[in-house]
Amino acid sequence: MLYGMALSQAFSAGIIMSCIPVAVALLSRIFLKERIQRSTQWALLLAVSGLLILNTYSASPSSTDESSASLLGHICLLGAVFCEAMYVVIGRTLSQVIQPKRITAVINLWGLILITPLALMAIQQTGIPHVDASLWWLLLFYGLAASVGTVWG
């Protein structure tokens, strides 16, 4: 998602990321065999139309490199949308047999395992920037609030 945001315009990124509920409906239909209501079908149609319009008629960049970067950004964002949607569908399925707090703990653990190698590569390439201690405390607070506080709070 972050790479997609960096390669896309904010307007496009906002529209693409707002398609998460539509992706959840599609994946729920495919994997959970849920019926898609008429209003959701219209939302699917509008979302796909919007994505097609964005990729076809977006403001023309000044170079081909910018155009391909924007397309790559859109693809990355669309991948992020479906990753988030899979998170919801898997969570919905698992919540029938496992407690929600345990699901959240396992997902946070997997997130830590998957992001650590990327973080170590980034630190190796750029080093750890000098950041005031107060900002590190804010970062720690944000991380704990987003992962632990919202579930066990």
Read off the pLDDT of each residue in 110-138 and give the average, rounded to a whole number: 85
pLDDT in tens, 68-109: 778 899 899 999 999 999 988 988 888 889 888 888 788 888
Q: Which residues contact 143 (CB under 8 A, 6 or more apart)?
A: none
Q: Model pTM? A: 0.68
pLDDT in tens, 5-33: 888 888 788 888 888 888 998 899 999 99
Read off the pLDDT of each residue in 45-53 and give the average, rounded to a whole number: 81
**Model pLDDT, residue 75:** 92
pLDDT of 62 > 70? The answer is no
Query: Residue ranges per domain, the chain?
Result: 1-97, 99-153
pLDDT of 59 > 60? The answer is no
Per cent of the chain over pLDDT 70 is 88
Residue ranges in 33-99 assigned as alpha helix (H): 38-57, 64-94
Residue from 41, 37, 19, 23 nearest 87 by CA: 23
Rounded CA separation 23/39 (Å): 14
Neighbours of 71 (CB within 10 A): 15
**Model pLDDT, residue 71:** 85
**Model pLDDT, residue 152:** 66
**Model pLDDT, residue 60:** 53
